Amino acid sequence: MAHQSGPWLTGRTPEDPLVQDSRTNPKSAQASTEHDLASIALQIATDTIRKNVAAICDLDYKHQGTPEAPVWHVCVKAHVLAAADLIAGAGPSFHVGDYADVLKIVSEAKGAGDTCENAFKAIHKVSPVADKDRQTTERCGLAGDLIRLLLTK
């Protein structure tokens, strides 16, 4: 399959969660171009952050009135804004071929996880959503890598 070799796999092992995502996504098997792969990676990143927003919002609600509540609000805001930008901006821009705009949006969304992690570090706590932050960072990173390939075409 075309997506099992290429520059986006450089340095990644078969056990890498990003490689696993691409292999388990049914559309990946049908992808034959970098454009197809970038589209799938963008959808995976969007789906991941959408799912993570729901979980983080739920945790934010459960921590209302606690000393950590402001940190949860930072995490919610970062992830909600990233999800909104991916949904409302990246998808439409991708479909019209504005890959520079898509790359900008995906790069900013990738930072949502760092924003949340740093908010918890500021209060000397380990983030309870570190796995979700890592997922967001990795999936947006992969999407960005593939979209970057489209910029050179």
Mean pLDDT of 98-114: 95
Is 18 within the bounds of a domain?
A: no
Residue 19: inside a domain:
no
Q: Which residue has the higher pLDDT, 8 or 12?
A: 12
pLDDT category, 18, cuts 50, 70, 90?
low
Q: How far apart are CA 17 and CA 104, in angstroms?
A: 23
Count how many domains the chain has. 1
Q: Note the pLDDT of residue 3.
A: 40
pLDDT of residue 28: 53
Closest CA to 128 of 80, 75, 82: 75
Comparing CA positions, the residue from 143, 116, 122 lying closest to residue 46 is: 143
Q: Which of 130, 150, 132 is nearest to 45 (CA)?
A: 132
Q: What pLDDT sits at residue 108?
A: 95
Predicted confidence (pLDDT) at residue 27 exceeds the cutoff of 60: no
Q: Is 136 left (phi over 0), alpha (psi -120 to 50) or beta?
A: alpha
- In which domain, by residue range, is 138 found? 34-151
Which tokens go with 72? 């949860």
Let me know: does 142 contact 8? Beta carbons within 8 Å.
yes
66 part of a folded domain: yes
Instruction: State the pLDDT at residue 8.
Output: 47
pTM score, whole prediction: 0.78
Q: Look at 11-20, 25-34, 102-111, 115-124 and tell me which has the smallest mean pLDDT.
A: 11-20
DSSP single-letter state for residue 86? I
pLDDT(13) > 90: no
Q: Is residue 80 part of a domain?
A: yes
pLDDT per position as a tens digit, 44-64: 999 999 999 999 999 999 999
For residue 129, the domain's CATH number is 1.20.140.40
Question: Is 29 inside a domain boundary?
Answer: no
Mean pLDDT computed over 83-100: 95
